[in-house]
Amino acid sequence: MTDRTAAPTTRWPVSRTVVLLCFAAVFISYLDRSNLSVAAIPMQQELGWTESVKGLVLSSFFVGYLLLQVGSGWLTNRYGGRRVLGAAVLWWSLFTLLTPLAARYSLPALLAARIALGIGEAAVFPGSFNMLARWVRLEHRTRAVALVSSGVAMGTVIALPVTGWIIRDFGWPMAFYAFGALGFLWAMGWYPLVREGRDPAMTDPADAAPRTVPWGRLLRAPAVWAIIINHFCHNWSLYVLLAWLPSYFKSTFDVSLASAGLLSAAPWLCSFAMANAAGAWADRMLTAGMSATRVRRRLQCLGLLGGATFLSLIPLAPSAAIATVLMCGAAGALACCMAGFGANGLDIAPRYADVIWGISNTAGTIPGIVGVYVTGWLVEQTGAYTAPFLVTAAISVGGAVVYVLMGSGERQFD
């Protein structure tokens, strides 16, 4: 059995710096992808987009994101998270800055810029997981995964209202210029403060020496497929909420652009809080002796089934306030999944957690293309958001069933 006891230390550990900077990278990545959800509203008016074209623009990011998921996992496993994540942040920040120029030049140029942004952001989680496996000890890993993953929620919390305010006062291009600059500031901290290698005191480290990735064994393992399928189901809900919340509030309740961004941010604040609470709860259960399999299944089912319940109620909301409460419930429940399937790769294969994330997030990116576009198509056909929310809830229930049947927390790969 692995010793979960860590020696006390009085100095600031490298692991905290790594975790906080990985959190910051995820935070910036979601600023840079989420601002379009609000900016698309004035861009649609200025550039004459239909709802379907807007859905295409919103989903184009995920084409690049999908293409490089497995590749970024392999690159990170081979060359290390410090190099790959650092280069990725600089790459996507550059294309964030170029977005307004591309949008005003042509629709194909905008789609190309969003695809390039997605290619860069494909490395953010494989790079982060590689660094967590190298630097974070076993008894703190779920909390570390939860904190890093909660950068998704915090980035969205900041991006949605702040984008609305920036657009109102300075115009929509400034939202891309302001957020794009942050990645270059991040790199000024990443390279001096984060080292290559791993924590030499860890009893269960991810070996720093490159190995051949056992692709066949990974793809034959039921536990890996449980992660893949649940990543798809979780992200279907995540991306539908991320891409369409501002438009939902504006079209359903006729709120202002700034208010739509503010209302849309509230669920992600709940997500941030719940992700970190669930991570701490999971680590306490593991430390108390509960099996990793039971812990992961408990958190995953709580996340997907809770999210499905709240999503199925949203079409019945009579006001923006009630809809916001239900959205908060859905986003908060879904955040528990990061202590479920999200941390599961570090249980079953810490040496290949970056590769497993790349594989599973390939499936998890499909909803960003299909789900976001289908939501726009269903809204266009029905004139309401009832159908897409009910479809999303049904997918979540299916994911929970699969995880109960196939999910495992036992170590399966050395």
Q: Return d(Cα 384, Cα 403) in angstroms, integer.
A: 31
For residue 98, which phi and psi values (nearest 5 degrees)? -85, -10
Using CA atoms in the order 160, 57, 365, 24, what is the torsion angle rounded to 10 degrees?
A: -40
Residues 6+ apart with CB under 8 A from 287: 4, 139
Whose structure tokens read 């190099």? Answer: 83
Sign of torsion, CA 353 357 358 363?
positive
Q: Return d(Cα 18, Cα 391) in angstroms, integer.
A: 38
Amino acid identity, residue 60? S
Split at pLDDT 50, 70, 90, the class of 2 is very low
The mean pLDDT value for 279-283 works out to 95
* Predicted local distance difference test score (pLDDT) of residue 371: 79
Q: Return d(Cα 324, Cα 160) in angstroms, integer.
A: 14
Q: Which two tokens stand for residue 219?
A: 């793809």
pLDDT at 257 over 80: no
Q: Return d(Cα 182, Cα 186) in angstroms, integer.
A: 6
Q: Return d(Cα 310, Cα 2) in angstroms, integer.
A: 39
Is 413 in contact with 353 (CB distance < 8 Å)? no
DSSP assigned state of 338: G
The alpha carbon of 4 is separated from its chain's Cα centroid by a whole number of angstroms, namely 28
The mean pLDDT value for 362-385 works out to 81
Other residues' Cβ atoms within 10 Å of the Cβ of residue 42? 16
The mean pLDDT value for 325-337 works out to 92
The mean pLDDT value for 49-67 works out to 84
* Predicted local distance difference test score (pLDDT) of residue 253: 79
Topology of domain 14-197+215-406, CATH: Growth Hormone; Chain: A; (1.20.1250)
* Predicted local distance difference test score (pLDDT) of residue 380: 82
* Predicted local distance difference test score (pLDDT) of residue 5: 43
pLDDT: which is higher, 159 or 104 = 104
pLDDT at 329 over 90: yes
* Predicted local distance difference test score (pLDDT) of residue 6: 45
* Predicted local distance difference test score (pLDDT) of residue 381: 84
pLDDT at 387 over 70: yes
pLDDT at 4 over 70: no
pLDDT at 29 over 50: yes
pLDDT: which is higher, 212 or 208 = 212
The mean pLDDT value for 282-311 works out to 95
Is 131 in contact with 85 (CB distance < 8 Å)? yes
Split at pLDDT 50, 70, 90, the class of 152 is confident
Q: Return d(Cα 149, Cα 369) in angstroms, integer.
A: 21
> Burial, 383: exposed, middle or buried (Cβ in 10 Å; 0-12, 13-18, 19+)?
exposed
The mean pLDDT value for 359-375 works out to 84
Instruction: For 75-93, write each residue's pLDDT tens digit.
Output: 999 898 999 999 999 999 9
CA triplet 4, 150, 299: central angle to 5 degrees?
60
pLDDT at 357 over 70: yes
Range with the poorest average pLDDT among 17-21, 251-255, 321-325: 251-255
Q: Return d(Cα 303, Cα 301) in angstroms, integer.
A: 5
Average pLDDT, the chain: 87
The SS3 assignment for 233 reads helix
pLDDT at 202 over 70: no
Residues 6+ apart with CB under 8 A from 9: none
The mean pLDDT value for 154-176 works out to 87
Is 49 in contact with 177 (CB distance < 8 Å)? no
Other residues' Cβ atoms within 10 Å of the Cβ of residue 330? 29
Is 354 in contact with 127 (CB distance < 8 Å)? yes
Split at pLDDT 50, 70, 90, the class of 19 is very high
Instruction: For 99-138, write each residue's pLDDT tens digit.
Output: 999 999 999 999 999 999 999 999 999 999 999 988 888 8
Amino acid identity, residue 289? G
Sign of torsion, CA 160 269 234 319?
negative
Amino acid identity, residue 298? R
* Predicted local distance difference test score (pLDDT) of residue 8: 47
Split at pLDDT 50, 70, 90, the class of 283 is very high
Using CA atoms in the order 130, 133, 134, 137, what is the torsion angle rounded to 10 degrees?
A: 160
Q: Which two tokens stand for residue 179?
A: 């957020």
Percent of the chain at pLDDT exceeding 90: 53
The mean pLDDT value for 155-179 works out to 88
pLDDT at 207 over 70: no
* Predicted local distance difference test score (pLDDT) of residue 247: 73
